[in-house]
Chains A and B, each alone.
Chain A
Amino acid sequence: MSDKVENSPADRIPESRPSLEELLRLKRAEQPDAAFWAKFDRDLERGIVQSVVRQRSLLERGFTFLGRPAGALAGLVLVAALVGMLLTESSSPLSVPRAATSPESWIPVAAAEDTGAERQDFVIEVFASESARAGAQGGGEEWRSGDAGNLRQAVYVAESLGPDGTPDRPGSRVLF
């Protein structure tokens, strides 16, 4: 019993105790033995081989699928859909930066593309549909950001800006 008390680091006089940094360095001495590393190497080698095989088999399955008539058809449909999406995007009336479609709109158009010091001449507000036109005229209260992705049904409201960046005058908005 007395032996235990005498051996306890907590009972030593403070001067003989290690500093926190010295104690933390003790952790460098916590190391697994050689048998652990031998097993570690074997397991890792197996794990890497399995991961490579799994990766290859996924790729092979993909190619095999595309080699079949149904797979080839699915591939063609996917390519056609992608091309269609690209064409649709390029033919949209106006490419609106994502930042400009946020509910905190009235972002000067040029500011969304260029953070330089150029003066803004107008702002564009995007509304979801024709039904929002009334909202646009009333100050945009009927903003529905969830529909704003469908630009074909959107209503654009342009408003000229004065020298201080605020709307120029009442009635200066143009809807299109």
Chain B
Amino acid sequence: MRDAEAAVGAAGAQTVSDDPDFRLVARVRAGDQAAYSSLVHKYKGRIFSVIYNLTSNREDANDLAQETFIKAFRSLDRFRGRSQFFTWLYRIAVNTTLSHLRKNRLRHFFNYEDLQEETVNAEWLEAMTSANRSDRPVVLRELQEKLNEALQQLSPKHRTVVVLFEVEGMSHEEIAEVLKVSTGTVRSRLHYAKQQLQSLLQSYVR
């Protein structure tokens, strides 16, 4: 998505009718609920992922992702098309999640999604595992646990920026639009969050 950083700037030149999401939104407004299923299908993975990475809790992520899509469906009449549809949807997801985290501040129960190990192809992983790769699941599992623990030690606002930038691949500008803050604030939060993570994970990262 960050490759689309230039595309964000060019979004102004893009007309509403050119954007497939806007066309789907128009169809939903006209009463075609199947068009909403297309939007859900397109974004459910990313919305679930961002919520899950903020909560580190599968059940919460499921409930909050459902809530996000229901809220978006009910608010679709208020979507004016001033931003991209996914930015608007991310904003609902992030706000719903942050509100949930504020209400459940003392919750310390986390559960993690299974790693789809076959999708992890990285040179560093090859270097860390033995030739026969039998230790690969153990290495990955430990890294996953340590990373999630470290992320949960960040404040929600710092965690949000790190997740949106490093995991979701969003640009500073897109994150600023989702969070309704300046790009300077995004950069500063990201810098601080990464410093914190580097320190928390110093035994695991170079």
A85 at the interface (CB under 8 A from B): no
Chain B: residues with CB nearer than 8 A to chain A?
33, 36-37, 40, 44-45, 48-49, 52-53, 58, 62, 65-66, 69-70, 73-74, 112-117, 119-120, 122, 124-125, 127-128, 135, 138-140, 142-144, 146-147, 162-163, 166-167, 194, 197-198, 201, 203-206
A21-B166 in contact (CB<8A)? yes
A51-B70 in contact (CB<8A)? yes
What chain B residues lie within 8 Å of A10 (beta carbons)?
Answer: 142, 203-204
Some 27 contacts from A to B, beta carbons below 8 A apart, are A14-B206, A18-B204, A19-B124, A20-B205, A22-B124, A25-B122, A26-B120, A26-B140, A26-B144, A26-B147, A27-B167, A28-B49, A29-B119, A30-B144, A31-B119, A32-B58, A32-B114, A40-B44, A40-B62, A40-B65, A43-B62, A44-B69, A47-B66, A47-B70, A48-B33, A48-B70, A51-B70
* A-B contact sample (6 more), CB < 8 A, given A17-B206, A18-B128: A9-B128, A9-B139, A20-B197, A32-B114, A44-B66, A51-B73
Chain A: residues with CB nearer than 8 A to chain B?
6-10, 12, 14-33, 36-37, 40-41, 43-45, 47-48, 51, 55
Report whether over half of chain A's contact residues are helix, strand or loop; otherwise say mixed. Answer: helix
